[in-house]
Amino acid sequence: MEYQKIIKKEESNKKITIYPGKASDMPVIYLNAVSEEEGDKVYQVLSQNDCPDFSLIVISGLEWNHDMAPWDAAPVFDKGGEPFTQGADAYLKQLTTEIIPSAECCIQGKAAWRGLAGYSLAGLFAVYAMYQTPLFDRIASISGSLWFPGFAAYAVSNELVKKPKRLYFSLGDVESKTKNPYLKTVQSRTEELEAFYRKQSIETTFCRNTGGHFKDTDQRMAAGILWLLSKLP
């Protein structure tokens, strides 16, 4: 895949970076990212691999602990950490009603299907979105914060708006090796939810990567997106 023209715009204080596909009516994958630079690095990794044609739309400028959080939660990292404040519903509304229509004006034709991907809290948000909107057909939760207080219980006791066709999970193999009472549950929560969705006849995978939460993040995100783009059997 060749590196495509980049289109940048803003919607309600969010920065949108669009890497349009070459052909019409290709898949579109949305990636919530910490920064524009993070999205650019992910796209460069994708461009160096045998990646099918698609459009990547990166959203940055996010209030991370607010926009990605499904509900309020106290700080979990240390006493001086930031709390999580419920903002995912409001951001998801902005994403589906403002950002997606505006961004897709910059690609050729219509989206063949839409995917949603994210790392860490954005991986949590991607899974949460399945319970709120039918717009996304494929989901990638990469090192997703599925340890988030109360989320696993929420996920297994609520119905999906629409079952995705593909659902990707990944995690570093030492991410759960911590004394933090929340973070140490991340592997068991991820395994629990991956098995739960697989039993619903959703095509799922759980990729275990080497290292901790901050290792090879660009490559991990690219791997998740590549799996979403691979052909269904």
Reduced to 3 DSSP states, what percent helix, strand and coil does the chain have, rounded to the nearest 5? 35, 20, 45
CA angle 118, 194, 44 (to 5 degrees): 30
DSSP class of residue 73 equals: B
Q: What are phi and psi of 100, to 5 degrees?
A: -60, -50
Residue-range domain boundaries for the chain: 7-229
Dihedral sign (CA 10, 11, 13, 14): negative
Is residue 189 within 8 Å of 150, Cβ to Cβ? no
pLDDT score for 10: 83
The confidence score (pLDDT) of residue 33 equals 97
- For 28, residues 6+ apart whose C-beta sits below 8 A from its C-beta are 54, 55, 56, 57, 104, 107, 111, 112, 113, 114, 115
pLDDT at res. 86:
98
**Residue carrying structure tokens 């609520």:** 158
Give all strands of the β-sheet with 166-172 in edge-to-edge order. 7-11, 14-19, 55-60, 28-32, 114-119, 138-142, 166-172, 203-209
Q: Is the domain 7-229 a CATH 3.90.850.10 member?
A: no
127-164 exposure pattern, b = at least 16 Cβ within 10 A, e = fewer: bbbbebbebbbbbbbbbbbbbbeebbeebeeeeeeeeb
Predicted local distance difference test score (pLDDT) of residue 233: 53
For residue 232, the model assigns a pLDDT of 64
Whether residue 47 contacts residue 1, with contact meaning beta carbons closer than 8 Å, is answered with: yes
Q: What is the pTM of this model?
A: 0.95
Tell me the three state secondary structure of residue 70.
Answer: coil
**How far is residue 15's CA from residue 39's CA, in Å, rounded to a whole number?**
11
pLDDT in tens, the chain (233 residues): 555 678 888 877 899 999 999 999 999 999 999 999 999 999 999 999 889 999 999 999 999 999 999 999 999 877 678 999 999 999 999 999 999 999 999 999 999 999 999 999 999 999 999 999 999 999 999 999 999 999 999 999 999 999 999 999 999 999 999 999 999 999 999 999 999 999 999 999 999 999 988 899 999 999 999 999 997 65
Residues 162 and 158: their CA atoms lie apart, in Å, by: 12
Contacts of residue 108, Cβ cutoff 8 Å, sequence gap at least 6: 20, 21, 23, 24, 25, 26
**Residue 7, pLDDT score:** 82
CA 127 remoteness from chain centre: 8
